[in-house]
Chain A
Amino acid sequence: MPALAEQLPRLRLVSDSLLELDYQLRPQAKWDNGQPVLAADIVFTLKLLYCPGLPNERARTEMGFIKDCRTDPADPRHLTLICQGQAPEYQWAASDFPVLPESALDSAHTLRAVSLPELRRGAAASPAVAAFVARYRQANVGRYPAHLPGCGPYRLADWQTNRVLRFERKSEWWADKLSAPPFVLQAHPRQLQFLIIPDATAAALALRRHELDVLPQVPAPLFKQLQQSETRQELAFYTTTSYNVVTVGFNTERPTLRDKYTRRALGQLLDPAALAQATQQVPGLRTASILPPTSPYYNDSLPLPAYNPGQAAALLRRAGWQRQADGHWYRAAQPTPLALDLRYRSDDAMLSTVGLQLQQAAAQLGIAVTLWPTEGTLLAQTLQAGNFDAYVKMTKGSPFVLNFSPLLHSQAIGAGNLTRFSNPASDRLLDAIGVEGRPARKRQLLRQFQRLLRDEAPLVPLFMLPNRLVADRRLRHITPSGLKPGYVAAAMTWAANTAAGR
C-alpha cells in the first residue's frame, strides 16, 4: 500500500491514546482492469482481515491496532487510518499489507453494509458476510492469483508448486507514466524468476553455472566454499546484519513444559557460543534477547545465555523433577520421565547441528530428546497446530517494527504464537509497547519485556543469523538487505535512504 500513496502518511495525535494516519493515494494508480485504486479498496482489504474462514489470522494480529478507517466523500483517494495507541512505527507498520480490488471481489459491495468496527466487534457472523466469504473461497484466488487484477508492475506468468514462480513485466504499468518515480516504483527487469531449490549445494552449483543470478540466505560453510572456489571471480559476495534470530521454542501448553523452570533448564543445555561459531564461523553473533545487541531497545543488563548443565539440573529440581535410579527425571503426577520431541526443518544443516547438540547435552543429564526433521510445509502446519514439544527455527525480525504481539501475545495462539505462551503480564506489556509513543518509555517497556521473556523462557534466543547473499557479477547495483522485499513502508524508507546515500 505505501507505494500507492503519494508519500508516507501524515501523523496526527488524537487525545492521548489514538493516532490518525492520513494517506493520499496517487491519482495514476490503476488496477489491471483499468479501474482506479481507491480508498474503498483499502477499506475493503482491512475488512477482509476480520472475515471468518479466510486465511487472515496472522495479518489480523499484525494489523489489530487499526481501529477504524475513514474515507473522504469529497476525495475517493483520501483515506485516514485510526490506530489504537500512538507508536511512531505505525507510520511504517500500518500500511504493511497488500491491497485487493473491491470491484473484482465484491462488485455488489456486500461488505460496505458492515463497518470495520462492527466487523472487529464480531458482526462477522452476519449472512451477508458469510455469503461474501463463500464467494471469495469459491474464487480460489490463493491458487489462481492471475484471475485477480493487480496494480503492481509484474504479472504471474508461471507457478509450479515447489519448483518455480515466474513473473513477467507488464507492458503498460501506471507508474511508468510518473515523471520521477521513487525507487520502489521502478521495475526494470523484464522477467523475475524464483527457482525453488531445496538443496543449498545444488543451488550454489546452479549459481556457478550461471543458471541463477542471485542466491540469498546462503549457509555459512557454503558461502566460504564459494569464496574459495575457482569461480569466485565471477561472483559477488555480500554479508549484512539482520534482525533474524535462531531460537528454540517450547510448547508451553505441554504439561512437562508448562512451568518456566523446566523451560529455563532445557535452555541451559543449549550452547549458543559453540553453535554460533560452528555453524556461522564468525564470533560475536550472540544475543540475550530476540532483539540484536545493536538495537537501541536491547536490554544489555541481561547475561548472554550459556551452556550450564549444573544450573540446568538445579532448575529441574526447583521445578519438582527428581532424578531416579534409572537416570531419568520424574515428577509427582507425571508417570513418564522428562523427554522432548524437537522439530526443525529437515533441509537445514544448521538446525540439525542445534538439534544434535541439545540431544547430546540432554542425554548426559538423563533427558531423551528425539529429533524430528520435518519438511517445511508440514513443519509449519505442525507447529501452528501445537503438535510438538520444542522446535528450533529462525525467527524473523525487522528494525522498524517492535511489535512482538504476533509472536508472543495470547491472542496470536494458533497463528504466529507457536509456543502458545500466554501470560497476563506479558500481554499487558505487549499491549503497552504496541501503543506507546514516547521513545524513552517504549525503551523501558521493551527492556522489561525482554527480562520477562528471559524469566519465562518460552523462547530461547541462540544467535543472530547474518544475511549472506551471493550474486553473479554481471548484475550491477545490488544493495542487499535483510528486510522483507516488497512495497512495505520500511523497505521504501530503507531504499530511499540507500539510494540517497549512493
Chain B
Amino acid sequence: MKAPRLHPSSGGAAYWALGWLALVAAVGLLAPWLPLPYSATAPDLANIAAPPTWHGPAPHYAGTDPLGRDVLAGLVAGSRQLLLLSLPATALATALGALSGGAAGYWGNHGLRLPGWAGLLGLAAAWWGLRPPLLVGLGVALPLAVLLVRYWRRGWAVPLDGLVLGASTLLGTVPRLLLVLAFAAGPPLGTGWLLVLLVLLAWPDMARLVRTQMRQVRTLPYVEAARAAGLPTGRVWWHHALPAASQPLRAFAPLTLAALIGLESTLAFLGIGYSEATVSWGQLLGELRQAPGAWWLVAGPGTLLLATLVALQSLARRSEV
C-alpha cells in the first residue's frame, strides 16, 4: 500500500501513527526470527492462565492464556496475522474496487462494446463450463445464438455500471458480520478463504467511491483533450483518468484496513473460522471468557488493537485527498 502524503500542518500525530504502524509491520515481518522463549501455539502445561512473570529460566513476560500459550508470542503472531490477512485483504479490495469502480464510472452501461464474436465465445464457454443436458442446452442456446448473429455487426454493449452497482448493492445490503458468520460458521476456514471473504466484503465501498469520482473525472478538460488527441481509450483510462479517480482511496484505504482488522478480531474473538493453531489479537481477547480474572489478556492485545485502529483513523483523517 502506498504511504499517504501528509499535510505540513498535520502535526506529529500522523507521524506517531505512521511510526506505530511501521513498528507493528516490522514485528510482524520479523516474527519468525525474533528471540522469543516460546512459540505462539505451544502450550506450557505447567503455567495455565499464569500472570506475567519476569523470573525463572523461561519467564512469560506477558503471562499465558487459559490454554497455556505465551501471550507475548501471541501478540507477535497477531501482528503477523495482521500482515498476512488484513493488509493483503485491504490491498486486494482496493485494487478490485478501483478497477471495477473506475471501469463502471468511465464506460457506464454503453461505453464498452464487445465484438459480436465475443458473444458466441461466451456462449461456448458457458456450455463447456455448465455442460447442460443436450435438449435443455439446445433450448436455451439456440435462441441466444440467433440473437448473437443478429447483433454480430453492432457488437455487444457491456452493462458495466449496472453490473458493478448491482453487485456492490447486493453485498452492501447484507450486514457484514452476518455475511461473514454465514460463511465462517463451519469448520475453520484457513487464511486463504478468510482473505477471499474479507476482500469480498471490502471492495463494494471502494468501487462505489471510485465510480462516483470517475464520473466527474471523465468530463474534465484534460481527459477530453486526451481523447480528442486520438489516444486509445484504454490508455486514457489507465494513465490519465484512473489515477485521478482513485485519489479518495488514499484516505479510504486506512479506514478499510481498520474496519477489516476490527472484523477479523471480532471473528477471532467469537472463535469463528479459527482454530487454536492460529493466534491473533482478537482470539487472545476471546480467551478472557475462560479466565475472566486474567487482566493480562486484555492489557496486551487490547492496547495493541486500540493503538493500531487509532493510528489508522488518524492517518486517514490527515491524509491528503
A274 touches B277 (CB 8 A): no
* Among B68, B277, B289, contact of A359 (Cβ-Cβ < 8 Å): B277
B293 touches A271 (CB 8 A): no
B67 touches A373 (CB 8 A): no
Give CA–CA (A199, B46) in the complex, Å. Answer: 25
- 14 A-B pairs in the complex with CB atoms less than 8 angstroms apart: A201-B290, A221-B49, A225-B291, A277-B45, A347-B271, A349-B290, A352-B67, A356-B68, A356-B69, A359-B41, A359-B277, A371-B276, A373-B275, A373-B276
* Among B42, B48, B69, contact of A221 (Cβ-Cβ < 8 Å): B48
Given A278-B46, A278-B48, A371-B276, answer yes or no on A353-B290 (Cβ-Cβ < 8 Å): no
Give CA–CA (A374, B275) in the complex, Å. Answer: 9
B45 touches A274 (CB 8 A): yes
Does B292 have its Cβ within 8 Å of any Cβ on chain A? yes
B276 touches A352 (CB 8 A): yes
Q: Which of A366-383 contact B (CB under 8 A)?
A: 370-375, 378
B41 touches A356 (CB 8 A): yes
Nearest 8 A/B pairs, CB to CB: A278-B45, A274-B45, A360-B42, A356-B43, A371-B275, A201-B289, A352-B276, A371-B277
In the complex, besides A225-B291, A356-B276, A356-B277, 14 extra interface pairs with C-beta distance below 8 angstroms are: A221-B48, A222-B290, A274-B45, A274-B46, A277-B46, A278-B46, A356-B41, A356-B67, A357-B45, A360-B42, A360-B43, A373-B271, A373-B276, A378-B187
Closest partner residue, chain A, to B289 (CB atom) = A201
Give CA–CA (A318, B41) in the complex, Å. Answer: 30
Interface centre among A225, A356, A371 (most CB of B within 10 A): A356
Query: How far is the CB of A219 from the nearest CB of chain B, in Å?
Result: 8
Residues of A bordering B, CB below 8 Å: 199, 201-202, 221-222, 225, 271, 274-275, 277-279, 346-347, 349, 352-353, 355-357, 359-360, 370-375, 378
Give CA–CA (A374, B188) in the complex, Å. Answer: 8
Given A353-B43, A353-B68, A357-B45, answer yes or no on A225-B276 (Cβ-Cβ < 8 Å): no
Does B66 have its Cβ within 8 Å of any Cβ on chain A? yes
B43 touches A278 (CB 8 A): yes
Interface centre among B41, B48, B66, B275 (most CB of A within 10 A): B275
Give CA–CA (A255, B186) in the complex, Å. Answer: 27
Q: Which of B169-205 contact A (CB under 8 A)?
A: 186-188
Q: B277: which A residues are within 8 A, CB to CB? A: 356, 359, 370-371
Does B39 have its Cβ within 8 Å of any Cβ on chain A? yes
* Among B43, B66, B188, B292, contact of A373 (Cβ-Cβ < 8 Å): B188
Interface residue SS majority, chain A: helix
A372 touches B275 (CB 8 A): yes
Q: What is the 8 Å Cβ interface bit string for chain B, positions 77-101, against chain A (1 contact, 0 not)?
A: 0000000000000000000000000
Q: B41: which A residues are within 8 A, CB to CB? A: 356, 359-360
Q: B292: which A residues are within 8 A, CB to CB? A: 201, 225
Q: B271: which A residues are within 8 A, CB to CB? A: 346-347, 373
Given A221-B48, A221-B66, A372-B187, answer yes or no on A357-B290 (Cβ-Cβ < 8 Å): no
Give CA–CA (A172, B182) in the complex, Å. Answer: 46
Give CA–CA (A378, B186) in the complex, Å. Answer: 9
Give CA–CA (A356, B291) in the complex, Å. Answer: 18
Q: A199: which B residues are within 8 A, CB to CB? A: 289
Give CA–CA (A201, B275) in the complex, Å. Answer: 19
Q: B39: which A residues are within 8 A, CB to CB? A: 360
Query: How far is the CB of B189 from the nearest CB of chain A, in Å?
Result: 12
Give CA–CA (A278, B289) in the complex, Å. Answer: 18
Give CA–CA (A372, B291) in the complex, Å. Answer: 23
Q: B69: which A residues are within 8 A, CB to CB? A: 356
Q: Which of B261-283 contact A (CB under 8 A)?
A: 271, 275-277
Give CA–CA (A328, B238) in the complex, Å. Answer: 49
* Among B42, B45, B49, contact of A275 (Cβ-Cβ < 8 Å): B45
B43 touches A357 (CB 8 A): yes
* Among A221, A352, A353, A374, contact of B187 (Cβ-Cβ < 8 Å): A374
B67 touches A349 (CB 8 A): yes
Interface centre among B45, B48, B67, B68 (most CB of A within 10 A): B45
Q: B45: which A residues are within 8 A, CB to CB? A: 271, 274-275, 277-278, 353, 357
Q: What is the 8 Å Cβ interface bit string for chain B, positions 46-71, against chain A (1 contact, 0 not)?
A: 10110000000000000000111100
Closest partner residue, chain A, to B275 (CB atom) = A371
Query: How far is the CB of B58 from the nearest CB of chain A, in Å?
Result: 15
